[in-house]
Amino acid sequence: MIFPEKYNLIRKLARDFAKNELTAEILDEVEDTGIFPVEIQKKMAKAGLYGIKVPEKYGGQGSDHLAYAIAIEEIARASAVGSLYANSPNSLGGMPILIAGTEEQKLKYLKPMVEGEIVIPFGLTEPNGGSDSRDIRTTAVEDGDYFILNGRKTFITMAPFADYSVIYANVGSSSSKSGVTAFIVDMKLPGVSIGKEEEKLGLIGCATSDIILEDVRVHKDEILGEIGSGFKDAMKVLDVGRLGVAAQSVGVAQACLDEAIKYAKERKSFGKYIYEHQAIAFMIADMATKLKAAKELVYDAAITKDNGGNSTMASSMAKMYASEVCNEIAAKSLQIHGGYGFVRGFKIERLYRDARVFTIYEGTTQVQQIVISRQIFGK
């Protein structure tokens, strides 16, 4: 796809940032310590990566979804975990507020988030629900000017170091999606705690845990949108979130392809470079072709969103295909590396682990198939 010059400049900005800041030494340290450097997070924010499509009045760059997808792709190409930090304010962190927040809430929360001063994760998933995002058992009971929240959110990225969280809860005794309402919850409020930090296969350096709410009093001023509009608004957020995962997927897939090509040009077997063996050359040809197709789906989904089209289906298609292709390319790249791909010290080992979650979070591949088929048949 041929892009107007402004998108090439955005790609160059993100690529240069990744090259200069997300070095092999830094990323190895992240893997060893489990901590992504705060100073790099600050630099991402200062470079404008935290607010690519957040309006300028709230501290962002005011760009569009295509610019966002391109930037996330380039950051993910260098570091999947780094792309999580750049993604959050533009996606699951900032979008609930941008979509449903009052002007006061947008000014209060978006600007410091874009500047890297606060972290706000997306508290939707629950232990019993999993992929069924309608199964919200966290309750919110009205008590004067407050709501009392009780429940548990699970697999919440960035929860252990969050300042606030968007929490989706059922108002009153409702057990259907009609009562789901979003609240901005201060993580320092009495009754808020986090569960054990999960030990994950990949994306090391971005902590994940449960959020536990026990009789947490949240003022009505912190309701996002209308009472009962939370589920509908959350689905709008996920449209953007799935585009972000698709962009991450093609970025990591490109890195896997890069590593496969590089290794195939360096490694010799049976007296010649392994890319000269037809089996390897054809494998890489297939990888490159599928990656090209995945990128086109990602860019199409972004443009569809920018043009006001059916972004639900486009984002789900992009997320489903790009994440599956990413895992396929990661597996084939590791195979090309042979035994070396199975040991730490080779980049493909980390890429392979990081890629695995893309077919799972923000809706599994099977959930995307449900979404797409319902869009096709009008259900």
Known catalytic residue at 362: yes
Q: 3-class DSSP state for residue 162?
A: coil
Contact 203, 354 (CB under 8 A): yes
Backbone phi and psi for residue 138, each to the nearest 5 degrees, phi listed first: -65, 130
- Of the candidates 223, 249, 233, which has an alpha carbon nearest to the alpha carbon of residue 320? 249
| Partners of 186 in beta bridges | 164
Query: At a CB cut-off of 8 Å and minimum separation 6, what does 20 contact?
Result: none
Catalytic residue among 74, 126, 328, 362: 362
The owner of tokens 């890297």 is 116
Within 13 A of 337's CA, how many CA atoms are on the CB side? Answer: 25
Q: 3-class DSSP state for residue 242?
A: helix
Contact 162, 120 (CB under 8 A): yes
Length of the chain: 379
- The alpha-carbon radius of gyration of the chain (Å, integer) is 21
- Of the candidates 53, 73, 71, 69, which has an alpha carbon nearest to the alpha carbon of residue 14? 71
Strand segments, DSSP code E, in 312-352 are: none
- What letter would DSSP give residue 15? H
Contact 162, 193 (CB under 8 A): no
Estimate to the nearest angstrom the gap between the alpha carbon of 376 and the chain centroid. 26
Cα separation, 311 vs 68, in Å, equals 15
Catalytic residues: 362
